[in-house]
Structure 1
Amino acid sequence: MGTEPRKDAESLRGSRRGTSRRLPRRAAAGRRSFTATLKALDDLAASGAKVSVRLTDLDRGHSVLAGDDFVTLPVGGLGVVPLLIEVAAGFESGQLDPLEIVDRSGLEAVTVAGVWQHLKAPALPLADLAVLTASTGDALAANALLSRVGLPAVRARIEQLGLTHSAMLDRFRDVRGPDDAPHVALGSARELAEVFAALVNSKVVSPGVSAQVAEWLSLNHDLSLVASATGLDPFSHDDDVHGLLFINKTGRDAGIRAEAGVLAGPRAGVSYALIVCFDDLSIMHRMRAHEAFRTLGMELMEYVF
């Protein structure tokens, strides 16, 4: 993997930052390496996978690890984060009523992910649809939100956020035809990590919007990739007894795995994003991709603790 030339970023094989003087406890985390992660990602890249990764220390505000983090790649359901931001902004401004009811009978059926399709309730309020979208990756709920706010509004929000390598292209579909966009969403690891850092720093639209989106994302049940190393309960992890702050969102599609989030412990805090696009030729190809995410999770835990 290559990296875009710039002064403040380290390459995927970049050196660790540190000095010989005694450092504060949190700053000392910067001297920790990601050797196993580097090897796992380089092995994936050598096998033909496209890999994009970015880790940013929340205290120091600069890159801990970056590899092809400027490259735009498909991110699957991770692309709903700007949609959630637009919905939260609508709630705050009064343009959207959180209790407005949406009936799924008016939506095209989609069964790729989620639980609403299995529930008896045929209609739900927008606020509950946002919870389902963030917590279970519910495709039907996300499509309902998108039908209410409109794709142009989400694209305008992405532009307002300054995301030039990210886009929401389409709603979720069971089958993509030749006239449909090839993917739900695109993004770069750098911008995704920046968005999550901005969320926990209350800099996305407003403090209220940042807090609302972070609260929704804190309910995410998918802790199977990077988050598998945290040991958190997938169904209840917003108040960890060990003081671990964690929010994340994953994205999955055929040959696509992506995750972005924030992990903070007593030693340090990090925003992260990892996107892997691979040939899903066998279960072993898939497991190698998953293992790279889990390796990153283990080294992130060592970094923040």
Structure 2
Amino acid sequence: MGRRSFSTALRALEELAQSGAQVSVHVRDLDTGHTVLSGDDHVPLPIAGLGVVPVLVETAVALDAGRLDPLGIIDRADADLVAGSGLWRNLRAPALPMIDLAVLAAAAGDPNAANALLDAVGHEQVRARMVSLGMPRSAVLDHFRDKRGPDDAPHVAVGTTREFAQLFSALVNSAVVDAGISAQVAEWLSLNHDLSLVAAATGLDPFAHEHDAHGLLFINKTGRDRGVRAEAGVLAGPRAGVAYALTVCFDDLSISHRLRAHDAFRILGTDLMEYTH
């Protein structure tokens, strides 16, 4: 019988905060709706690629409404190409259909695919959607960029862990716009390959974890930037289900600083597994 305490994770997060990191966390029980762990969950912090999730929501809405063609071809803009990361920049195909870009953005956090989706649905539409979803303190601020100049927003996105945990809770409860939109976005997110932070404790296959042999339900999205690690998701097991979000902003002065932040995510993952199992 697993324990139902987050004392280990809380201690690790407190130690991170004492070392100078900014830490925000929110965990809620899916069955009761009660918050079981929280800390500074109202504070907007940089979340990097986690901001792709509301862009995916608006993409699903536009596809469902017929405003976007799922097979409509989108050209990769070489002039604005993000060269530092992603899969699309390494593919020979300079253009891909909209639906494939959604998969790339969700599964691989591809910045060029995410930028193309944001351009297709519109920045203002994403902002309005986030407000309608109860996320007034979170925002997608800009495109992904290799370098940020003085005229660019300082971050691609900011968000609170409370709002992102609520968003993931709503996704699995079919309450993000409607059941169809929720299912589509959850399906995209279930393809995410980054299981190296909180999800490291699940033991799931990063490349095939939609139908776990042990009945584990899991979807997540991560965000990474210099000195930023963020993750939100849903984990459900035989005992309970939780929606969670954790953001850590730290001085990335050395590998040890980075690993200390990563360890806190993995410790939270272990506590989540014990809570749900």
TM-score interval (norm. to shorter):
over 0.9
Q: AA paired with 2:144?
A: F
For 2:77 and 2:273, the matched residues in 1 are separated by 44
Gaps of 5+ in 1: 1-27
In the TM superposition, what is the alpha-carbon distance from 1:147 to its structure 2 partner?
A: 1.3
Inter-partner Cα distance in structure 2 for 1:105 and 1:180: 18
- Distance in 2 (CA, whole Å) between partners of 1:128 and 1:195 is 23
- Residues 1:298 and 2:270 aligned together: yes
Say which SS state the counterpart of residue 210 (structure 2) adopts: coil
- Cα shift readout 1:210-265 (whole Å, capped 9, x = no counterpart): 00000000000000000000000000000001000000000000100000000000
Q: 1:96 Cα deviation (Å)?
A: 1.0
SS at match of 1:251: strand
Matched, 1:145 2:107: no
* Offset at residue 107 of structure 1 (A): 5.6
Residue of structure 1 equivalent to 2:49: 77
Query: Where do 1:22-61 residues align within 5 Å?
Result: 32-61=4-33
- 2:225 matched to 1:272? no
1:120 aligns with 2:92: yes
The equivalent position to 1:238 in structure 2, one of 210, 228, 235, is: 210
- Aligned to 1:188, which of 133, 141, 160? 160
> Retained in 2: the 8 A contact 1:228–1:294?
yes
- What SS does the corresponding residue of 2:177 show, helix, strand or coil? coil
- Please, what TM-score do these two structures have when normalized by structure 2? 0.98
Mapped to 2, the partners of 1:34 and 1:150 lie a distance apart of 40
Q: What is the RMSD computed on CA atoms of the aligned residues?
A: 1.1
Residue 68 of structure 2 corresponds to 96
Contact 1:58 1:269 in 2 (8 A): yes
Matched, 1:251 2:194: no
Distance 1:66 1:107 in 2: 42
1:108 and 1:259 map into 2 onto residues whose CA distance is: 27
Cα-to-partner distance string for 1:54-85 (whole Å, 9 max, x where unaligned):
00000011101011111110000000111000
**Partner Cα separation in structure 1 for residue 120 and residue 88 of structure 2:** 17
Q: Does the CA-based 8 Å contact 1:169-1:186 persist in structure 2?
A: yes
TM-score, normalised by the number of residues in structure 1:
0.89
Give the residue type in structure 1 aligned to 2:94: P
- Which residue type is aligned with residue 147 of structure 1? D
Aligned to 1:62: 34
CA contact (8 A) 1:200 1:214 kept: yes
What percentage of residue pairs aligned between the two structures are identical?
A: 67
Runs of 4+ in 1 over 4 A off after TM superposition: none
* Cα drift, residue 150 of structure 1: 1.4
Q: Which amino acid aligns with 2:10?
A: L
| Structure with more contact order per residue of length (Cα contacts < 8 Å, sep ≥ 6) | 2
User: Distance between the aligned counterparts of 1:112 and 1:227, measured in 2?
Assistant: 24
Q: Number of aligned residue pairs: give it.
A: 277
Q: Of the candidates 209, 216, 234, which is equivalent to residue 262 of structure 1?
A: 234
- Whose radius of gyration is greater, 1 or 2? 1
